[in-house]
Amino acid sequence: MMEWINVTDSFTEKQRHYSNTYLEIDEVYDNVVEVSLFSSQQGPYEIFISYGILYGIVYVEEDKAYAKREEIKKELEADYKKHKKPSNEFIRTFCEKHEVKMPNDILFNFPDF
């Protein structure tokens, strides 16, 4: 049975500090789906998602961050179990529902990795 695996400890403490945020938890499902939660003292929390060609960040207030992360995990897991990769329709619907953003530095700002 597949399950979410917490891989947070695979990052050093230095790596967990990224661009004014802190990696609270990083979980992967079947080495294909990833959902990470970054806390911030200067702004909203960030939920990073990666599933096939779908990736981005959902910004959320601190008090809603953990519940939103669980909601996102459930949706991504359900789609993965059914289809194994996101369809264009799933991507469109998911991104609209969760207001997924693509910050400029998401692909290129990893100096410590």
**pLDDT tens, position by position, 1-17:** 789 999 999 999 999 99
User: Beta-carbon neighbour count of residue 16 at 10 Å?
Assistant: 16
Average pLDDT, the chain: 92
Cα(13)–Cα(45) distance, rounded to whole angstroms?
A: 18
Length of the chain: 113
Cα(7)–Cα(30) distance, rounded to whole angstroms?
A: 12
pLDDT at 109 > cutoff 70: no
Cα(63)–Cα(91) distance, rounded to whole angstroms?
A: 26
pLDDT at 99 > cutoff 60: yes
CB-based contact 86:97 (threshold 8 Å): no
% of residues, the chain, pLDDT over 90:
83
Q: What letter would DSSP give residue 77?
A: H
Cα(45)–Cα(4) distance, rounded to whole angstroms?
A: 21
pLDDT at 113 > cutoff 50: no
**pLDDT tens, position by position, 28-47:** 999 999 999 999 999 999 99
CB-based contact 37:58 (threshold 8 Å): no
Regarding predicted confidence, which is higher, 56 or 112?
Answer: 56
Cα(47)–Cα(56) distance, rounded to whole angstroms?
A: 8
